[in-house]
Amino acid sequence: MEGEGTEPDGLSDHMEVDGSSGSWRSGMSENPEGISKLAQAYIYESKKNPVSLVVEYTQRSGMQIKFNCVEKVDERGFQVSAVIDGLNQTGLLCPSKREAKLSCCLFIIDYLIQQGRIQMPVSHGGSNERRNTAAKMQKEMVNQESEVMDATEDRYWSSGSVENHENISKSALAYISESGKNPVSLVMEYMQRVGVQVVFDKCIDKGGFQVSTVVDGVRWSGVVCSSKREAKVSCCRVVIDYLIRQGKIRTRSSCEGGIQLKNSIFEQMESALYSCFDYECSSNSELKASEKVIAGIFMVDAVAAECHLISWATGNKCVQGSALCTNGCTVNDSHAEVLCRRGLLRFLYQQLEVYLRDEQKSIFRKVMGRLTLRPSLTFHLFISTAPCGDGRIFSFSSEDVASGSAHRPEVDKNKGALRTKIECGEGTVPIPGDVHMQTMDGIFGGERLRTMSCSDKILKWNSLGIQGCLLTAFMRPVYLCTLTIGQLFHYGHLSRSVCCRLGDSLKLPLPFKLNHPYLASCTALSSHRAVSRSPTLAVNWNISDGTVEVLNALTGRVNRTGEVSRLCKRAMYECFEAVESKVRRTSADALTDETYLNKKERCKDYINARDCFLKALESNGYGRWLKKPDEEKMFTLNH
């Protein structure tokens, strides 16, 4: 249970958001593996990565070593083992494969030293001197640049100084750490891409070495270091920081690691979102074709003054009727804001898993028997253009009005009606009065597949919460704090479409409410990135999975391979069952005989609120909500 006075001081210090870790040796002073002081001293004096030490030893001795990495899905980590002398040496459970391999090698080095297979240098023959060396290492290791030598190219990488002597930004620190490369290599690679030759100038003074170089006509110098190599690294760290600040290096890490909220939060969100998208496009040009609409959901920590990108997506198409299925394996709606929200759901499920392991590291806390979002945290949605449907059809150009929370909806009898998206096309159409339901045989027989517009779906999120139905089995509703639009922002039409068209007529049971998010416009980047092509590709990313997934919107499956998407109903049901089996302390297999539809119907509080929402739409004359055929949800995980 949550203890008193345990609110987080900062997201990076208290919560497991993306499971990532910093430099490989930031935890050496804690010695979690419990290796001997001799082993610690040997590693420290070698100035090499433990993995390199093990590989070098096996090469010298003619041994062959094979590392076996196992992903612990339930514990969300990796564990690496290797056989030495017939004995299995297994490292600790770590959040990344690299850290897991390093942990395994620490055990191997400790074992080899204990067996006398690795000899300490002669200068460290005395036990007192060895203890002093180990103690010195414990004190200084956190503050030194950890180097891994590449024997063939005489290159190394540095994971970054915890002290950050150069005072570079968090974005630069995260970029260097996640690249796994030496800052010198990163600078050289960038200069090669832009066709610029870089020259490093060295100077020597009484304090040590200092390196500088000229970039964009400005000389950048690192701090004074004890060696030429460290001085060159320091200089390159400063250069990388400059390039990131100038937007010349696009980095996803600046979003995941937290954006310092100094300027407009909406400008920060827009910039971070496009930076992340451009970062992915740099390694996969195919993604660029999906940019017509892009959306992102951010989580703001008011205490730490940081903003974390949780999920983003692109796309503006829906599945074609012939691809609809009854096993939950297709993604029906590949519009950016819809995919983006489904990515958020994966993050929420992951945070439930974190809560079950360690309540203090989760974004949730328990209040009156139900999980709720910590009060310092809020969610924010950015969309590059007005959501399709009622929020866009009357917005022919962006309106230059101030953002705000006091909504001024434009309401008349011709506005506010529910609309559906055009199958395999763009735009929305009103729902015909004679269409009350959709059937599988009708759709397969050629009837148009109708999917509710994004404006209508956001209205639903503002009424019932962005967490959807199944998650209410564990938590209270979660609502958007702000909604930011790039192009085609019109205050009156937007506020009407996403919340105000229901107003006082919507009577929801507690804890549900009609949420009125702060509405904002931000066109600094969106207006300059107009894309005329209408893509069939849709891209999604979320902080829990950490990888990009490219979908074919018309088939609702992964592009080219036809694999099942992590955002489909079936995948979400699997996430739910994984959490429920731990909460109920039952086998997951015992729960999967129940259909997805029945499981949702069991969330009575949400279903009651949903019925009130649908009734209010009809009573106000906005039309009837068209859902997909029930057969589409009547699947189990056993079949």
Q: Where in the sequence numbering do the catalytic residues fall?
A: 337
Name the one residue in this structure whose structure tokens are 């100084």: 161
Task: State which amino acid sits at residue 389.
Answer: G
Count of residues for the chain? 639
Rounded Cα–Cα distance for residues 33 and 106 (Å): 7
Rounded Cα–Cα distance for residues 72 and 288 (Å): 34
* 254 close to 171: Cβ distance less than 8 angstroms: yes
Give the residue from 378, 313, 383 showing the smallest Cα distance to 346. 313
Q: How would DSSP label each residue in 132-189?
A: HHHHHHHHHGGGSPPEEEETTTTEEEE---SS-TT---HHHHHHHHHHTS-HHHHHHH
HSE (CB half, 13 Å, CA atoms) of 325?
15
Give the chain's end-to-end CA distance (angstroms, integer). 37
- Give the Å distances, CA to CA, from 639 to 177, 329, 444, 594: 43, 12, 22, 11
H or E, element range at 235: helix 228-245
For 304, the token pair is 């730490």
Classify residue 513 as left (phi > 0), alpha (psi -120 to 50) or beta.
beta
Give the residue from 270, 278, 238, 170 showing the smallest Cα distance to 482. 270
For 489, the token pair is 């922002």
Rounded Cα–Cα distance for residues 504 and 579 (Å): 36
Rounded Cα–Cα distance for residues 157 and 149 (Å): 8
H or E, element range at 78: strand 77-84
Name the one residue in this structure whose structure tokens are 């950490």: 546
- Give the Å distances, CA to CA, from 526 to 122, 231, 290: 64, 40, 14
The SS3 of residue 372 is strand
Task: State which amino acid sits at residue 16.
Answer: E
What are 208's strand-pairing partners? 205
HSE (CB half, 13 Å, CA atoms) of 238?
22
Classify residue 75 as left (phi > 0), alpha (psi -120 to 50) or beta.
alpha
For residue 566, the tally of other CB atoms under 10 A from its CB is 22
The SS3 of residue 349 is helix
Rounded Cα–Cα distance for residues 126 and 367 (Å): 58
Beta strands in 464-612 (DSSP E): 480-487, 518-521, 537-542, 548-552, 557-558
> Residue 304 CA to chain centroid, in angstroms?
18
